[in-house]
Amino acid sequence: MDHDHQADQLAGEIAGLAHATGRTVAVAESLTGGRICAALAAAEASSEWFRGGVVAYASEVKRTVLQVAQGPVVSAEAVHAMGVGVRDLLDADLGLAVTGAGGPAPQDGQEPGTVFLAVVDGSETGGEPVLRHIDGDPGQVCAATVTEALKLLAERLRLPAVTSSGAIGSG
């Protein structure tokens, strides 16, 4: 199955999960350049649960818009800050974030294909960044990152909801 078809299927699953749990989603993207937002926006009833997204391709945009601290932007710390930043900026329950070195050159000391992903909710422990190493050219890395990000979001939506105050509920 190609990545575009898989992304569409995952976005459909996310739509059902978000609707069933009453949770909203916001996205902060870097190397994927808006492809995650496009997949979610095309899903069923997205206006009910998809708050929107920020394509923060430039490091300075990550810092000024999403409150990412000075330092490497291809890192676990940066992706977590991006998730918190977009969740808070767009008043969503969940903030999905991705950053990475798509290639062909390394970035911030990370080899091409190094990708960090996070889904941030209101819990102290939620949103632990995930590191993936994806083989391929920049286009292949971006496409695979979209799929990985949507899988991670669907996984998180299957878990009980955690509010920004840290309370656990059903959604």
The tens place of each residue's pLDDT in the chain, 171 residues long, gives 687 899 999 999 999 999 999 999 999 999 999 999 999 999 999 999 999 999 999 999 999 999 999 999 999 999 999 999 999 999 999 999 999 999 999 999 999 999 999 999 977 666 789 999 999 999 999 999 999 999 999 999 998 876 555 555 544
CATH number, domain at 12? Answer: 3.90.950.20
CA 119 from chain center: how many Å? 6
For the whole model, what pTM was predicted?
0.92
Query: How many domains does one find in the chain?
Result: 1
Number of residues written out for the chain: 171
- For residue 97, the enclosing domain spans 3-169
Among residues 64, 65, 63, which one has the least CA distance to residue 53? Answer: 65
pLDDT of residue 126: 65
Question: Tokens 């993936």 sit at which residue?
Answer: 132
